[in-house]
Amino acid sequence: MSVTTVRKPSLLWRLPILSHLRQSVGVQRGMLIAGILISGMFIVAAIFAPLIAPYGFAQSRDENGLFGKQMPPSPEHLWGTTVGGFDVLSRVIWGTQTALSVVIVAVVLSIFAGVALGLVSGYLGGWLDRVLVVIADAIYPFPTLLLAIVMSIVISGGRSSLWSGILSAAISITVVFIPQYFRVVRAEAVRLKAEAFVESARVVGSSTGRIMFTHVLRNSTRTLPLILTLNASEAILTLAGLGFLGFGIAPTSAAEWGYDLNRALSDTASGIWWTGVFPGAAIVLLVLGLTLVGESINDISDPKLRTRKRLRKAA
């Protein structure tokens, strides 16, 4: 029998997703790896879109003239062309960029706003806390999409260019997510407020701000990676929903999958499948990838749901 020493894993392996990967086994590990691979593929596609995409997202002609409308897949246009005469493959690849920018902006904004509000509300309490809780509770059960529609009317009047479009879609989604982060962080802050280490910090004379943002904040972000991945996938679906209703980003300023699906819907009656199937599949795959990551993190963090390593005979 060999003597094994318990080594503390290096910092890299203690980062959220990687630490989960280290703990996982079997099916759970497979799901996590699959999720990371799929999401990674989209991130690569988004970063290198200018290199990978054969044409621009609003390009309808090259040196040989117009692409033609609703052309079936061919060597020049691997996934065919849309009703507007754009290359489907290129629009799907450029759409990755739009989707991921919206997700990043939305998640970053809602984390900052939600966490700050939750922390202040939970730690300080009082009337501010009561008002915020009531507002968050009123928004929470309301259909995400409807709220996002209202927000996008407010922000852009429903029509927008690339950056204002990405921003307004992101902010629309943010408003929906803030109550979720708020609830989670607030609950943690309320719980931590009574802990001994917070009390001792107070006794030592730390300022309220310091206690909130160093002691309480650090300990209340446990569940954030999970909500983050789940919200990222929700953000993509909301963006696509807005685009489908014609409330997303204008087609000439960026490629957006939901809008393309809207235009593709009328193509189906004549049996044209390539305009809708590819952008739709892109949405499904990206959401699937992100959800697999989120779902595995959740299961692995929860000791009741985690599959445990079997003890090796040699050990």
Partner 1 sequence: MTLLQEAEAPIDPPARPPRSRGRKAGGGIGLGRYVLIRALLIVPTVFILVSLVFFLMRVVGDPISASVGDRLTAAQLAERLAAAGYDRPIIVQYFEYLGQIATGDFGRTLSDNRLISEVLLTYGGATLELVFYALIVAFAIGIPFGMLAAYYKDRAPDAVLRILAILSYATPVFFAGLLLKLTFSVWLGWLPLGGRASTRVQIALGRLDDPTGIYLIDAIRSGNSVILGDVLLHAIMPALALGLLTAGVFLRLVRTNVIQTLSNDYVDAARSRGVSEFRLVRYHAYKPALIPIVTVIGLQIALLLGGAVLTESTFEWRGLGFQLAQYLGARDFVAVQGIVALLAVIVAVTNFIVDVIAALIDPRVRY
Binding-site ranges for partner 1 (CB under 8 A)? 26-28, 30-31, 133-135, 137-146, 149-151, 153-154, 157-158, 176, 180, 187, 227, 230-231, 233-234, 237, 240-241, 244-247, 258, 261-262, 264-265, 268-271, 273, 276-277, 280, 283-285, 287-288, 291-292, 294-295, 298, 302, 304-305, 307
Of 84, 12, 89, 93, which Cα lies nearest the Cα of 47? 93
| CA–CA dist 217, 219 (Å, integer) | 5
Q: Which whole-number Å values give the CA distances from 28 to 211, 246, 286, 292, 302, in the listed order?
A: 37, 39, 19, 9, 12
The answer to whether the beta carbons of residues 72 and 274 sit under 8 Å apart is: yes
**Minimum CB separation from partner 1 for residue 138, in Å?**
4
Distance CA 269, CA 67 (A): 22
Residue 52, token pair as written in the block = 């990978």
Q: Distance (Å, rounded) from C-alpha 95 to C-alpha 78?
A: 16
Smallest distance from partner 1 to CB 55, Å: 23
Nearer to partner 1, 66 or 128 (CB): 128
Q: What SS3 state is found at 61?
A: strand
Nearer to partner 1, 116 or 245 (CB): 245
Nearer to partner 1 among residue 185 and residue 287 (C-beta): 287
CB-wise, 75 or 143, nearer to partner 1?
143
Residue type, 150: V
Minimum CB–partner distance for residue 2 and partner 1 (Å): 30
Distance CA 75, CA 87 (A): 12
Q: Residue 172 Cβ, how far from partner 1 at the closest point, in Å?
A: 11
Give the shortest CB-36-to-partner 1 separation in angstroms. 15
Question: Quick one: 176 or 211, whose CB is closer to partner 1?
Answer: 176
CB of 109 to partner 1, least distance (A): 16
Amino acid at residue number 10: S
Q: Which residues contact 196 (CB under 8 A, 6 or more apart)?
A: none
Q: Which is nearer to partner 1, 212 or 258 (CB)?
A: 258
